[in-house]
């Protein structure tokens, strides 16, 4: 059955010169398919259409329909097929169009992929990689734009990563495929047109550690994915106003790299968590709790959070922008924490 769910419009790849995030992801897919014949990609529109966000464009022609497989519009069915293939020794990569639709496969992900190794005493691993788009910022409204990755970080047995840079878009996939357990890769939709240069020989990267993207001494800004670049913009503005903010890119959302997070907070003595997801029951709440549990006496101010407004993501651009963290919000939160007004 040919898929008919239309792609939520993706700008042309490579429009800004250099390599784009989308192209870096495609290069990672191409490398994995070329290196290991057990690797195959399946999902809605990944073949003839080239992927809902054009990530797999051209791979069907290069690798053929046995390895680039269009699936019916049934997330539960094709994620289940991926789990079965992984159990049989293959290395499937399953693409789900958006995180909202992944909820249709939640039973497969939670009750099968995440638990089979535990329930079999380690006899059956599920080396499955699931990629999906997350986040707002593209006027795709409430059924395509939420940030639900925090829900998946609640589940033991899953590894959750969020590449926010070209290097991580290029390098996380191969490392994920080598993991014996299921790995979910969350790609923020606003990043697909991010462009720049990759160093020669760019390849696999670790998926274990957070990274300091900007050093600073006054406050730690802890974030990931689509909000990393907004946070870096905020840090630049804070520097011009006399506040040196350290920007921490989590990269791995489960497990969290507690050591790097706490080292940063010990240096700055203040923390602001920036998370596009809803505030209640969120990953930002988990990070805030861990900071309080582990380095409470290092803090000079309560941990602050900048999160998405707790409403379905609106369609009008001005309302969508108002519903998710912006650099102005991060700057204001940092100033409150540093001044002691938090």
Catalytic center residues: 75, 144
Q: How many CB atoms lie within 10 A of CB 292?
A: 13
Instruction: Give the H or E element holding residue 273.
Output: strand 271-278
Cβ-based neighbour number of residue 143 at 10 Å: 12
Measured CA to CA, the distance from residue 273 to residue 248 in angstroms comes to 10
Q: What is the largest CA-CA distance in the chain?
A: 60
Contact 164, 226 (CB under 8 A): yes
Beta strands at 159-161 and 183-188: parallel, antiparallel or unpaired: parallel
The three-state secondary structure class of 83 is: helix
State how far the Cα of 172 lies from the Cα of 185, in Å rounded to an integer. Answer: 8
């Amino acid at each position: 059955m040919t898929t008919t769910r239309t792609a939520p419009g993706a700008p042309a790849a490579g429009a800004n010169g250099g390599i784009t995030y989308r192209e870096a992801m495609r290069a990672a897919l191409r490398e994995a398919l070329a290196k290991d014949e057990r690797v195959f990609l399946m999902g809605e529109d990944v073949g003839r259409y080239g992927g809902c966000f054009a990530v797999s464009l051209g791979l069907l022609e290069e690798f053929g329909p046995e390895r680039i497989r269009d699936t019916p519009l049934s997330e539960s069915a094709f994620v289940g097929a991926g789990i079965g293939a992984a159990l049989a020794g293959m290395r499937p990569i399953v693409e789900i169009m958006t995180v909202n639709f992944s909820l249709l496969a939640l039973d497969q992900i939670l009750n099968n992929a995440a638990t089979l190794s535990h329930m079999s005493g380690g006899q059956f691993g599920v080396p499955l990689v699931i990629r999906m788009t997350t986040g707002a910022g593209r006027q795709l409204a409430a059924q395509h734009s939420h940030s639900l990755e925090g829900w998946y970080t609640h589940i033991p047995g899953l590894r959750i990563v969020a590449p926010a840079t070209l290097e991580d878009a290029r390098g996380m996939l191969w490392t994920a495929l080598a993991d014996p357990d299921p790995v979910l890769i969350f790609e923020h939709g606003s990043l697909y047109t991010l462009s720049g240069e990759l160093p020669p020989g760019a390849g696999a990267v670790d998926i274990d550690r957070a990274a300091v993207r900007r050093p600073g001494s006054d406050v730690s800004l802890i974030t990931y994915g689509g909000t990393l670049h907004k946070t870096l913009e905020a840090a630049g503005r804070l520097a011009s106003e006399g506040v040196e903010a350290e920007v921490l890119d989590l990269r791995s959302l489960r497990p969290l790299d507690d050591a790097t997070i706490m080292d940063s907070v010990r240096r700055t003595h203040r923390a602001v968590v920036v998370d596009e997801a809803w505030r209640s029951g969120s990953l930002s709440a988990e990070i805030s709790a861990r900071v309080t549990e582990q380095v409470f006496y290092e803090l000079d101010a309560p941990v602050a959070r900048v999160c998405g407004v707790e409403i379905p993501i609106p369609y009008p651009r001005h309302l969508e922008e108002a519903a998710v963290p912006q650099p102005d919000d991060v700057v204001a939160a940092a100033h409150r924490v540093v001044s002691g007004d938090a």
